[in-house]
Amino acid sequence: MDFLPFTRPSLDEETIAGVVEVLRSGWITSGPNVKRFEALLSERCGGRPVRALNSGTGALELALEIAGVGPGDEVITTPLTWVATANVIVRARATPVFVDIDPRTRLIDLDRVEAAITPRTKAIMPVDLAGFAVDRDRLYDIAKRHGLRVIEDAAQSIGTTWRGREIGSFGDLVCFSFHPNKNMTTTEGGALVLNDEAEALRCERLRLQGVERLPGGEMEVEVAGAKMNLTDVAARIGIGQLARLDEFNARRRALAQRYLARFDADLGCELPPGDTPDTNWHMFQPLLPLDRLAMTRAQFIDAMQAAGIGVGVHYPALHLFKLYRALGHREGEFPHAERVGAGIVTLPLFPAMADADVDRVCDTVRDILAPRLRPAHR
């Protein structure tokens, strides 16, 4: 039986042919396809300015700089996320201030955010883990009352909506990722949604060495920019992917609903919230009942791999990494994030999957876990 990875991008022949055209054109770095891709993203985001970048991490980095975050500042975020979320704060020489998650949604607990605000707080950086949207109404109410910028780590939530409004079409600074494991890809890449043309111009300069082009071939540099521009090759892939995003997300939703219907409830796994039709279902992530299992998560993953099924881990609680322990963090500090981070697994979910693939995964999970499941304590 073929190996089933936990994710796989869907690239159609028209997009592949379009990439060939770009390669043959001789203009393969940032050019007309980047501009077209940005225009299409802007249309999707309600006409807001959007600038394409070489990664979602780059979008976070430039968003921090545009928001004025620097040495001595604090940024509130979640410990249950890809480590880039916190790394960019550290690299800006600011301090990430972690807030534990809501154990049901696995998203930053907004009830705890206000208690974490200090005079040094400059911004809040929520994360839409697995494509589930943080409550934007409450988030922006908190930010407005305290005069804070919001940098949305929406790396996983393109196509997700909040109360009928698509993520990116409203809010402050919104960061998308187009890594190959995302709902749409540019191979590597990302985008930053901005508030106005002044911020967009600043983003353009920061993404390419701070260079300002002047008439007559002259140039000027006023800021020390980076090298974060997207290539036309990558943008052409993004153009093809964006055209199919709604189709991709609809298929993901259907597959997720099949998972929820077919998953064996007797296994005691905690499943993601099923009453969220507005999510793009970036990932399907049950939580293993480790306190009842006679096996570790690593052993479960190995067993699934041996059965021809790929499983990911997204993510361990990042404050327990050595880098963040060295900054003073410790085990037991954020118990909900630590529990979820220790037991979470990412099962296969991508548009090209068949319904039978979901059934195969559910059956294999049952066959592996059921014989190793200790009775629940009464």
Strands (E), the chain: 50-53, 74-77, 95-98, 121-125, 149-153, 161-162, 165-166, 173-177, 190-193, 211-213, 219-221
Residue 162, beta-bridge partner list: 165
At 151-198, the pLDDT tens digits run 999 999 999 999 999 999 999 999 999 999 999 999 999 999 999 999
In a domain, 5, yes or no: no
Share of the chain above pLDDT 90, in %: 97
Count of structural domains, the chain:
2
Give the end of a domain, one of 243, 260, 280.
243
pLDDT at 1: 79
> What is the overall mean pLDDT for the chain?
97
The residue among 225, 243, 261 that closes a domain is 243
CATH number of the domain where residue 267 is located = 3.90.1150.10
| Averaged pLDDT for residues 245-256 | 98
* Domain termination residue (choose one: 243, 278, 297): 243
> Are 360 and 272 members of one domain?
yes
The DSSP output letter for 215 is: G
The pLDDT confidence band at residue 376, using thresholds 50, 70 and 90, is confident
* Residues 196 and 126 placed together within one structural domain of the fold: yes
- Domain containing 340: what range? 246-372
Classify residue 1: in a domain, yes or no.
Answer: no
Q: Is residue 225 part of a domain?
A: yes
Where residue 57 sits, what CATH number does that domain have?
3.40.640.10
Is residue 2 domain-resident? no
> 136 and 239 in one domain?
yes
pLDDT at residue 378 is higher than 60: no
219 and 261 in one domain?
no
Kindly state whether residues 204 and 216 are assigned to the same domain.
yes
113 in the same domain as 49: yes
Residue showing tokens 């409550």:
135
**Residue 377 lies inside a defined structural domain of this protein:** no
* 251 and 227 assigned to the same domain: no
Q: Give 373: exposed, middle or buried? Use CB within 10 Å, 0-12, 13-18, 19+.
A: middle
Transcribe 301-365 into DSSP letters. HHHHHHTTB--B-----GGGSHHHHTTT--TTSSHHHHHHHHHB-BB---TT--HHHHHHHHHHH
Asked whether residue 28 is domain-assigned, the answer is yes
Specify whether 343 is located in the same domain as 207.
no
263/147 same-domain check: no
Say which of 122, 144, 182, 322 is annotated catalytic.
182
Q: Categorize the per-residue pLDDT at 377 as very low, low, confident or very high, splitting at 50, 70 and 90.
A: low
Residue 270 lies in a domain: yes
Distance CA 114, CA 73 (A): 16
Same domain, 50 and 139: yes
**Contact present, 12 and 247 (Cβ < 8 Å):** no
pLDDT in tens, 320-368: 999 999 999 999 999 999 999 999 999 999 999 999 999 999 999 999 9
- pLDDT-derived band at 274, boundaries 50, 70, 90: confident
pLDDT in tens, 26-83: 999 999 999 999 999 999 999 999 999 999 999 999 999 999 999 999 999 999 999 9
Instruction: With beta carbons less than 8 A apart as the criterion, state whether 172 and 75 touch.
Output: no
Q: How far apart are CA 57 and CA 283, in angstroms?
A: 19
Same-domain status, 213 and 181: yes
Calculate mean pLDDT across residues 300-309.
98
Per-residue pLDDT, 275 = 82
Known catalytic membership, residue 35: no
Say whether both 174 and 129 belong to one domain.
Answer: yes
pLDDT at 266 over 70: yes
Q: Is residue 292 part of a domain?
A: yes
pTM of this prediction exceeds 0.85? yes
